Structure 1
Amino acid sequence: MKLVMTLMVRDEADIVEAMVDHHLAQGVDLLIVTDNGSIDGTTDILQRYADAGVIDLRHNPHHNKRQGEAVTRMARDAATLHGADWVINADTDEFWVPVDRSLTLKQAFENIPTDLGSFVVPVIDMTGAPAASGTGFERLIYRDQRSVDHLLTIGLHAHATPDSVHVGDPNVEVSQGNHFVNIESQGEPDPAFAIEVLHFPWRSFDQFYRKVDNSGRAYAESGLVPSPNHHGMRDYRRLQDGTLVSFYIARHPSAEQIEQGLADGTLTVDRTIADLGLPAIPDVALPEGAIEVGRAAAVSLVQKLDHIASLETELRETRAAAEADKARLESDLDTLLHTGAHKMNALEDELRERDEHIRALENQYHELHGRRVVRAADWVGQAARNVRGTIRRR
């Protein structure tokens, strides 16, 4: 069984070496990697693995947010060039592991039948204390299972979307973000061989700022128009208005929140990655006092944004009601106009019929009148003749 992973990466030097080492140790046979114009040393790191023959390294310097197209090409090449039985399309901040940690990925996939076609893999966001820089494996050891309602209070809309894994197929299509493929799933793996993803999206403010800036600029240059609620575009707007650091801090729980989360089960410790001893950049703390200030600012901003969102919702509903009233009035007017026109046409028809009837009566009158005049003249003439005849006889 051959297991191939695809990866599109840009400026992830703080984690890419650990990510590649982890998956090679987990039995991934080959990584097909597209470097998207990195400038932070990521390219040099990847080249070392390419020289060792464990990475098929490609280069795409265009920052046009065409990840789906690039990953689709790599996923197809995994089947046609490298004979993959299973293909994992991953992001650099993802660490794929079996739920049963005594297994490797290779062992799990060896026990998953390829006739499943594809299946969904849950993605678990890892959280912990914030930092100015550093990979953060020792900080980010908590599985984040906080409710969506809680996430909304810190400026997040949801947890990470699940990923899709699929069999090698030369005609596969992978969506933007690696969350969906066109190969229909025929079921789920046996729970004994289930897979999950440990996700490290916000490792430090330095990394987060760079990621948001790169993504926002790429969208601007691409001509694509993502939803205003797209997480990357929301964060890019925060970067532009100077509030990004507050939202970065707010999405990491405080010491008190961690204690409460551990007590109520919304946070659970998972040291799977922390205990592997993977390459990592040492952490640098945020300036003293910045965390408290950032949290308070984010709470205030979220409340203001919630108020604005509420007003926007009210405005949308008012506009929708006004549009509905307008449509109803226009419909009523059309009905009245149609009914009025129909009645007008009926009256005009009735008037025409009456006019025709009057003309017929007039014609009849004139005809009868003419006949009476003729008959009267004939009668007078006959009377005159009778009188003259009587006179002559006398």
Structure 2
Amino acid sequence: MKLAMNYLIKNEADIILDNIKVHSQLGADCFVIIDNGSTDNTRELLDSVKDQYEMIIIDRPLLDYQQSNWKTEMAKTAASKLGADWSIANDADEFWIPKDGSLKTEMVSSGSILECPRYNVLFDRKAFDGEAPYYTQTNRVQYPINYPKGIQCSQPNLSIMMGNIHGKVAVRSRGLVRVKGGNHRAWHAWGWLNSKKSQNIDIYHYPIRSKEKFIQNIENRKALLDAGVSKMGDHYRRWVSLYQDGLIEEELDRLTVTEKSRDTLFDLGVLVEDSTASMAISDLLSERSS
């Protein structure tokens, strides 16, 4: 069983090599990467490791951001050119951590779609301001707040990180029809018959890692909106609006865990202490560099 991990990325120099290193040790055998016009040194970092892994890099410096088309293209490229039996369309800030064995434990030859739950991990505000490594953080959202759909742009007091987020899917190459835009769903020839929910893989999501990176991401999303891109999550539209209004510091208080909010969030069970990903990422990065 051969597993491909595929990335659509732009300006992910702070985390992309960590992501590749960790998943290569957890069961990812090969990688297909579309670089969407990075302006930091992401592309140079990929070139520096491309001989260490079975990897295809595609340059796609366009502003139309065709998520579903490009993620489907990567999965089919992984199958046709690298012989991948399964594919994961991953984001650079997501780590797929198996409870036991490897990522491939549940990826059988008769399968179709494997649905995996995803959880946000929040920074302590002091650690965030102190530029601590993202993987040292252990504040995981356990019971997300079920905000009504469509109010993210109109309610400035909400915490996007506390809201409910969709899981992601791994997909069997044979029978794949299409990977949906955010990789929350996929169309598969026999997905209606035998898709299953994973009992082994949890996905840990680290979207807020530094103020510089956060603002860089917002500026990238603003450029896409200015170019006429219409398919974009409301949380990105919210952040672009707050950025333009000079309200990013207040938003960062809502996206991290402050001393004022910590006890309440843990007492209510919204957050839980979870060191699973922190320990796994730290250990795997240490093993790779030693």
TM (normalized to structure 1)?
A: 0.63
CA deviation digits over 1:185-244, x for unaligned, max 9?
A: 4345586x53221000111221111111102212321x23247x7211111111111112
SS in 1 for 2:187: coil
1:259 Cα deviation from its structure 2 partner: 2.9
Match of 1:117 among 112, 116, 119: 112
Contact 2:112 2:175 in 1 (8 A): no
In 2, Cα distance between equivalents of 1:30 and 1:82: 7
1:294 corresponding residue in structure 2: none
Tell me which residue corresponds to 2:264: 260
Match of 1:237 among 241, 245, 258: 241
Which structure features the higher share of strand residues?
2
Partners of 1:158 and 1:146 lie apart in 2 by 5
Measure, in 1, the Cα distance between the counterparts of 2:103 and 2:92. 17
Q: How many corresponding residue pairs? A: 271
For 2:193, what is the secondary structure of its paired residue?
Answer: coil
Indicate the residue corresponding to 2:207 in structure 1. Answer: 201
8 Å CA contact retained: 1:75, 1:172: no
1:158 matched to 2:163 = yes
**Equivalent residue of 2:33, what SS?**
strand
Q: 2:44 is matched with which residue?
A: 44
Q: Secondary structure at the match of 1:208?
A: helix
Larger helix share, 1 or 2? 1
Identity, % of aligned pairs? 24
Alignment equivalent of 1:141, drawn from 138, 141, 144: 138
For residues 247 and 190 of structure 1, what CA distance do their matches in structure 2 show? Answer: 34
Matches within 5 A, 1:1-394: 1-98=1-98, 100=99, 102-106=100-104, 108-109=105-106, 112-130=107-125, 131-132=128-129, 133=131, 135-138=133-136, 140-144=137-141, 145-149=143-147, 153-156=157-160, 158-169=163-174, 172-183=177-188, 184-187=191-194, 189=196, 193-221=199-227, 223-226=228-231, 230-275=234-279, 276-277=281-282
Structure 2 regions of 5+ residues with no counterpart?
Answer: none
TM-score between both structures, scaled by the size of structure 2: 0.84
Supply the distance in 2 between the matched residues of 1:257 and 1:27 (Cα, whole angstroms).
38
- 1:195–1:189 CA distance, 2 compared to 1 (3 A): farther
SS in 2 for 1:80: helix
Q: How many Å separate the matches in 2 of 1:64 and 1:135?
A: 32
Q: Secondary structure at the match of 1:105?
A: coil
Which of the pair has more CA radius of gyration? 1
Alignment partners' CA distance in 1, 2:69 and 2:36: 13
Partner of 1:334: none
User: Structure 1 counterpart of 2:213, which letter?
Assistant: Q
Mapped partners of 2:285, 2:212: distance in 1: 18
8 Å Cα contact 1:119/1:185 also seen in 2: no
How has the CA–CA distance of structure 1 residues 273 and 196 changed in structure 2, closer, same or farther, with 3 Å as cutoff? closer
Name the residue aligned to 1:284: none
Question: In structure 2, what is the Cα distance between the partners aligned to 1:36 and 1:135?
Answer: 25
Closer, same or farther in 2 for the Cα pair 1:185/1:135, shift >3 Å?
Answer: farther
Once the 2 structures are TM-superposed, how far is the Cα of residue 256 of structure 1 from its aligned partner? Answer: 4.2
In structure 2, the CA distance between the partners of 1:74 and 1:149, relative to structure 1 (3 Å rule), is closer
Measure, in 2, the Cα distance between the counterparts of 1:249 and 1:57: 37
- How far off its partner does 1:37 sit? 1.3
CA RMSD of aligned residues (A): 2.6
Contact 1:118-1:185 at 8 Å conserved across structures: no
Partner SS, residue 51 of structure 1: coil
- Call closer, same or farther: CA 1:251–1:190 in 2, change over 3 Å: closer
**Closer, same or farther: CA 78–236 of 1 in aligned 2, 3 Å:** same
One-letter amino acid of the counterpart of residue 163, structure 1 = K
The 10-residue stretch of structure 1 (205-214 or 140-149) with the greater mean CA deviation from structure 2: 140-149
Contact 2:6 2:33 in 1 (8 A): yes
Q: Which amino acid aligns with 1:148?
A: N
Q: Which of structures 1 and 2 has the larger relative contact order (alpha carbons within 8 angstroms, sep 6+)?
A: 2
Deviation at 1:272? 2.5
Partner of 1:46: helix, strand, or coil? Answer: helix
Distance in 1, Cα, partners of 2:195 & 2:73: 26
For 2:119, give the aligned amino acid: I
Q: How far does residue 25 in structure 1 lie from its aligned partner after superposition?
A: 0.9
Tell me, in whole angstroms, the C-alpha distance in 2 between the residues paired with 1:155 and 1:35: 30
Which ranges in structure 1 are unaligned for 5 or more consecutive residues? 281-394
